[in-house]
């Protein structure tokens, strides 16, 4: 009996959250675009054939020049029915006929995966450090804050470049560099949330109840710190994807992978010659994703804000 | 006004991209180019330079705060 | 005796940017007694340190000095008091070792916490918004290993009923409840481990007046049913009048008066208590209010001797006037009201803690007459012992201040005021 009501209450809770979120039209639009991206990423991962994508990990399929010798030196083609996003060409008078729609679909998978990986890992590290440091206080807190100060005093793109210089220029290292740049943000945020939660009387009540430090941290502070962090994560997925593309665009990677920034970089040399779509298409895709995620994040913020719910 | 601090940080980072696109040979382009060449000294030096610029901007902003808002005083 | 504190003090360190660390003396030398099954009221204005004292008792704040003896037999307590007054440190330490909460390790303290708990003022922030009510109520039972998880859940339901809430509230979250209902939950949590001592920190201040009475009645019922001793911290005299048996009055971190409710509320003796009680309206009675001048003192640098003396309407010679306080008041008079007689060259110089010097008097003016005229109004002038004309100036010698203690009065209360000092202690 008791569990039945409990399940029902929980279900009501979810329904209320959904109502609040769905009431926000722009957030729903954001969600739809976001789901399109996620869907693309998942299908390319599991069954690339469904979307007509082959060799999801490479820009130029192996033996491409042997099977399509006419494509060597072919100029980019404008968007048409056979190539809705047009085609691009790798290197000036290099390999042409590269379908941008296919490349974009491959790139979305990589970009979405990396940005989720970066944000989730960064948020996990940052939140852990932030909560522990705010709760322990003293020299540990002081140390962490000074470390984050160092990170904040260097523009993050430059810092990512510097880290990339040290760890090397592969795709995984790019993600690593971004994590290193990004975790202090979460550490600061989690710390400030913890400090305000720590002042609540229920923490004192828990101490009066005999609960130990670890128990208070895990069961009282974490549940109150987590929801705003989750919203921040959802917002940051969009931000990270732009930074990711920016890094790839300025040539962070020394390998050729289908990535939106790399695609834009390839197009950069072509655009002045009149092949504008080679830059605009990857750029618009990045913008669309970042925008969708932001709109969705705003909707989520309404959901967790108790004032908007009641 | 606090947001200007972040703005400056963003602008400095943005310099890297803008200079790359328009091949404007400023410190951002120089940094990127050194990064691609693997020039350790330049990468380290320009990172430090960017850091210094940002720190001094923040300092300037803080002092400006105290000037504009009489309630803030530094002991 | 449920609880007895000796010289309990809490000084909060304040770190200045470049200055040396200073201390805020929130609670100083508090001696509190809570008898078994007794409700003791602790009243005082905001900032008087009453909440800090209450939290020190449960070690939610770690006291800076003193002892908190918990659940000590009366004979042992007497023995301890004797040992303290005879400066028998070894025996006192031995007893304190057995009964003082401050000497318990954190794991011992955890088990002991089932015997004591606290109800906070604000029921909106004292319940974790992400916990269900059962979990809230069960927390002390589980954390102090009072019983197992399953038993705690069962008991939580019983407790909901006990505090007058329906059982089906168990799966609700705090935000679904009103202020009064939340406070009931907080009380259920506090009594869940059958505590013997409950600290109530302004339990009704955040509630609607209509709900306040219900909560007070609930507390009284629970006390009678489970024989719990309670410390009721409040600024609301009416609440104390309704619930308490003994009353302590606190001002600026110091206990000023102690006694039974009837005595303290009806015939206050300490000048501060008198002023406090005169502010309480009584139906069908006309009374003269004593309105205190000034503000409560800064506790970083509290007034010397009696902390109330700067605002006390009856303060006299030895209440703790410092040379600085007297010089300020005197200069104010000389440059203001008596400007015409003393001229604009007059100046008050602080020579030492007990000596002032008035210089630059032009014309035949008498400082003694000024003092005699103004003494009744400007109390600090009473701290001047002798006035001697010397050379071009006037030398003023001051009375040495005397620190008051809680003097026992014939009707069995304690008053921390020199007016109640037994004459045997020697007169100045």
Digit-coded pLDDT (tens) for A114-162 = 999 999 999 999 999 999 888 887 788 888 888 888 888 888 888 888 8
Q: Please give the pLDDT value at position A126.
A: 93
Predicted pLDDT of residue C187: 93
Segment A265-278 mean pLDDT: 80
Cβ–Cβ contacts within 10 Å for residue C214, how many?
16
What's the pLDDT band for C341 if we cut at 50, 70, 90?
Answer: confident
Nearest to A158 among B20, B50, B55 (CB): B50
Q: Which of A153, A162, A268 sits opposite B55 (nearest CB)?
A: A153
Judge whether A147 is closer than 8 Å to chain B, CB to CB.
no
**Higher confidence at residue A306 or residue A16?**
A16
In sequence order, the 6+-apart residues with CB closer than 8 A to the CB of C50 are C42, C43, C44, C233, C250
Q: Are A97 and A104 a contacting pair, CB within 8 Å?
A: no
Model confidence, pTM: 0.81
| ∠ Cα A35 A36 A38 (to 5°) | 60
- Give pLDDT, residue C94: 87
In whole angstroms, what is the distance from residue C249 CA to residue C269 CA?
11
pLDDT at residue C327 in the model:
87
In this prediction, does ipTM exceed 0.90? Answer: no
Determine phi and psi for C352, rounding to 5 degrees: -155, -175
pLDDT of the residue at C233: 94
What integer pLDDT is reported at residue A308 of this predicted model? 56
CA distance to A74, C121, C242, C249, C259, per residue, from C216 (Å): 88, 13, 8, 20, 21
**CB-based contact C156:C147 (threshold 8 Å):** no
- For residue A307, the model assigns a pLDDT of 56
pLDDT at A5 over 90: no
**Distance between alpha carbon A192 and the CA centroid of its chain, in Å?**
23
pLDDT at residue C294 above 90? no
Q: What does pLDDT average to over chain A? A: 82
Do the chains contact at A205 and C186, CB–CB below 8 Å? yes
Chain A residue at shortest CA distance from C122: A201
Average pLDDT rounded to a whole number, residues A173-180? 89
How many C-beta atoms surround the C-beta of residue A60 within 10 A? 17
**Nearest Cα residue to C320 out of C353, C274, C292:** C353
- Looking at beta carbons, which residues of chain A come within 8 Å of B47? 154, 158-159, 161-162
Compare C246 and C388 and report the one with higher pLDDT. Answer: C246
Share of chain A above pLDDT 90, in %: 11
Residue C428 pLDDT: 44
Chains A–C, number of C-beta pairs less than 8 Å apart = 72
Please name each of the domains of chain C with its CATH number.
Answer: 3-263 (3.40.50.300), 323-398 (3.30.980)
Q: Residue C302's closest CA among C28, C63, C20? A: C28
Question: Which pLDDT value is given to residue C118?
Answer: 93
Nearest CA in chain B to A248: B17
| Residue B25, SS3 per DSSP | coil
Write the burial class of residue A221 (CB in 10 Å: 0-12 exposed, 13-18 middle, 19+ buried): buried
At residue A164, φ and ψ (nearest 5 deg) are -60, -35
Tell me what the pLDDT averaged over chain C comes to: 86
Q: Between these two residues, C341 and C146, which has the higher pLDDT value?
A: C146
Least confident of A233-242, B23-32, C108-117: B23-32
* Residues contacting residue C397 through CB under 8 Å, at least 6 positions apart: C354, C355, C384, C385, C386, C388
For the packed helices A260-268 and A100-136, what is the interaxial angle rounded to 10 degrees?
A: 130
Residue B53 predicted with pLDDT over 90: no
Q: What per-residue confidence (pLDDT) applies to A1?
A: 42
Alpha-carbon distance of C392 to C241, in angstroms, equals: 59
């Amino acid at each position: 009996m008791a569990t039945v009501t409990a399940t029902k209450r929980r279900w009501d809770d979810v329904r209320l959250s959904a109502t609040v979120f769905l009431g926000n039209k722009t957030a729903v639009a954001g969600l739809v675009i976001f789901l399109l991206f996620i869907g693309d990423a998942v299908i390319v991962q599991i069954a690339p054939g469904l979307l007509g994508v082959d060799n999801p990990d490479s820009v130029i399929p192996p033996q491409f020049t042997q099977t399509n010798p006419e494509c060597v030196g072919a100029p980019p083609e404008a968007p048409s029915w056979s190539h809705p996003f047009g085609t691009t060409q790798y290197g000036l008078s290099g390999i042409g006929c590269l379908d941008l729609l296919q490349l974009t679909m491959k790139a979305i998978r990589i970009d979405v995966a990396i940005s989720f990986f970066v944000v989730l890992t960064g948020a996990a590290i940052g939140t852990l450090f932030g909560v522990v440091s705010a709760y322990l206080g003293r020299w540990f807190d002081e140390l962490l804050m000074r470390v984050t100060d160092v990170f904040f005093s260097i523009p993050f793109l430059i810092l990512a470049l510097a880290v990339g210089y040290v760890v090397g220029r592969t795709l995984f290292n790019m993600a690593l560099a971004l994590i290193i740049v990004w975790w202090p943000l979460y550490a600061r945020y989690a710390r400030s949330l913890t400090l305000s939660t720590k002042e609540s009387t229920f923490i004192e009540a828990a101490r009066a109840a005999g609960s130990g430090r670890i128990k208070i941290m895990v069961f009282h502070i974490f549940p109150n710190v987590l929801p705003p962090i989750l919203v921040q994560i959802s917002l940051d997925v969009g931000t990270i994807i732009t930074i990711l593309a920016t890094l790839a665009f300025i040539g962070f990677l020394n390998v050729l992978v289908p990535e939106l920034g790399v695609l834009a970089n390839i197009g950069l040399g072509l655009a002045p010659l009149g092949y504008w779509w080679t830059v605009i298409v990857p750029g618009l895709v990045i913008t669309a994703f970042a925008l969708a995620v932001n709109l969705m994040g705003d909707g989520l913020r309404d959901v967790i804000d108790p004032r908007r719910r009641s | 006004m606090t947001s200007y601090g972040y703005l400056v940080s963003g602008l400095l980072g943005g310099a890297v991209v803008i200079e790359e696109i328009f091949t404007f040979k400023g410190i951002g382009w120089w940094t990127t180019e050194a990064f691609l060449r693997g020039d350790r000294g330049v990468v380290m030096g320009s990172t430090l330079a960017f850091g210094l610029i940002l720190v001094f901007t923040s300092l300037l902003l803080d002092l400006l705060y105290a000037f504009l808002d009489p309630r803030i005083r530094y002991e | 005796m449920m609880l007895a504190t000796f010289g309990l003090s809490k000084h909060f360190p304040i770190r200045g940017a470049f200055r040396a660390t200073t201390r805020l003396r929130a609670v100083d030398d508090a001696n509190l007694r809570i008898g078994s099954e007794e409700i003791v009221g602790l009243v005082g204005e905001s900032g008087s340190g009453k909440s800090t004292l209450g939290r020190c008792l449960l070690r939610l704040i770690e006291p800076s000095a003193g002892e908190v003896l918990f659940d000590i037999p009366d004979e042992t307590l007497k023995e301890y008091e004797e040992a303290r007054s005879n400066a028998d440190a070894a025996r006192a330490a031995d007893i304190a070792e057995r009964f003082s909460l401050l000497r318990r390790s954190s794991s011992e303290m955890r088990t002991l916490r089932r015997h004591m708990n606290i109800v906070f003022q604000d029921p909106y922030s004292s319940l974790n918004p992400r916990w269900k009510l059962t979990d809230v109520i069960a927390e002390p039972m589980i954390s102090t290993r009072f019983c197992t998880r399953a038993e705690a859940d069962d008991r939580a339901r019983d407790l909901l009923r006990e505090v007058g809430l329906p059982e089906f509230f168990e799966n609700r979250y705090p935000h679904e409840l009103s202020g009064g209902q939340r406070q009931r939950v907080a009380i259920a949590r506090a009594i869940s481990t059958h505590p013997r001592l409950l600290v109530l920190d302004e339990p009704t201040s955040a509630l609607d007046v209509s709900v306040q009475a219900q909560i007070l009645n609930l507390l009284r019922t629970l006390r009678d049913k489970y024989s719990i001793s309670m410390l009721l911290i409040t600024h609301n005299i009416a609440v104390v009048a309704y619930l308490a048996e003994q009353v302590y009055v606190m001002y600026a971190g110091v206990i000023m008066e102690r006694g039974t409710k009837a005595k303290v509320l009806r015939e206050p003796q300490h000048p501060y208590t008198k002023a406090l009680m005169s502010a309480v309206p009584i139906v069908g009675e006309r009374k003269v209010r004593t309105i205190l001048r000034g503000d409560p003192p800064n506790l970083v640098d509290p007034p010397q001797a009696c902390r109330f003396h700067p605002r006390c309407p009856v303060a006299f010679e030895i209440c703790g006037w410092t040379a600085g306080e007297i010089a300020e008041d005197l200069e104010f008079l000389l440059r203001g009201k008596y400007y015409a007689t003393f001229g604009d060259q007059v100046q008050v110089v602080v020579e030492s803690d007990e000596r002032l010097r008035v210089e630059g008097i032009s014309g035949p003016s008498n400082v003694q007459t000024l003092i005699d005229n103004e003494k009744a109004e400007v109390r600090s002038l009473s701290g001047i012992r002798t006035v001697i004309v010397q050379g071009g100036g006037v030398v003023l010698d001051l009375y040495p201040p005397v620190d008051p203690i809680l003097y026992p009065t014939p009707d069995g209360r304690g008053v921390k005021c020199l007016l109640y000092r037994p004459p045997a202690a020697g007169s100045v």
